[in-house]
Amino acid sequence: MTALFFLNLLIIQYAVITCLDYDGWLNIKIDHSINCKGEKFCNRGNVSLKSIRAGNALIDQIPFTTEHIDELKNIAALDGFYTLRTLVTTADSKETEFLSSIKAQAFLQNALSDVISAWVMPNGEVIAVTFQVSNSSHSILLEKEAEYNLSSNFYLRYVDQAPVEAREKGELKDNRSFLAKYWMYIVPIAIFVMISGASNPEGAAPASR
């Protein structure tokens, strides 16, 4: 099973390297909604890549304090969600904002371990950033600490270019909305997120890094 998992990762990485038409740096600022001192979101960390094709990410995140853990437990007691906001910047684009959320209880049971996925078009445009908790067959209890380190794995998910209708000669400006232009990419991502959530029963917990 482990060998198959790493083989799948290699195949995905090869697809990203060979199929992307674009290469450049990528920066993802991660904010979250807990222990923010009255603000809606505050800093959790940052993911940076010097090259999208190379795919090597540097992840820098703050340690959680007992205040973070207590707030997560309060949200989990209400069967609520831990919400994250990502601000994505590339060499050729302005800052783009995405929202994602995971069950607070599942995040705690996974010992603050999660998987971050950036969905990338062949032209290098990031169209979504998602968070999931790692699959595990048992819960991991957090021991009492002054600080709690996060354990995150980051992956680039390559989104293949769908066929488009042929246009008549001449440059035509595409005035369609974002959803109208990219629904065929967003739907598979939504299905992936739902399947990932379904494979994470609330009693189950995390895989470490």
Residues 62-78: tens digit of each pLDDT: 999 999 999 999 999 99
**Three-class SS of residue 154?**
strand
Residue 29 Ramachandran class (φ > 0 left, ψ -120 to 50 alpha, else beta):
beta
Q: What is the mean pLDDT of the chain?
A: 79
| Single-letter amino acid code for the residue at 48 | S
| Single-letter amino acid code for the residue at 52 | I
Q: Which two three-digit tokens encode residue 65?
A: 């304090």
What pLDDT score was predicted for residue 17?
Answer: 45
In the chain, beta strands by DSSP E: 26-32, 42-49, 57-61, 64-65, 81-90, 93-103, 113-120, 126-133, 147-148, 151-158
51 in Cβ contact with 25 (< 8 Å): yes
Task: Give the H or E element holding residue 199.
Answer: none
What pLDDT score was predicted for residue 16?
Answer: 44
Q: Return the domain boundaries, the chain.
A: 19-161+172-198
What pLDDT score was predicted for residue 116?
Answer: 97
What pLDDT score was predicted for residue 35?
Answer: 96
Query: What's the pTM value of the predicted model, to 2 decimals?
Result: 0.69
Q: Which residues of the chain have pLDDT under 70?
A: 1-22, 135-141, 161-185, 187-188, 192, 196-209
How long, in residues, is the chain? 209
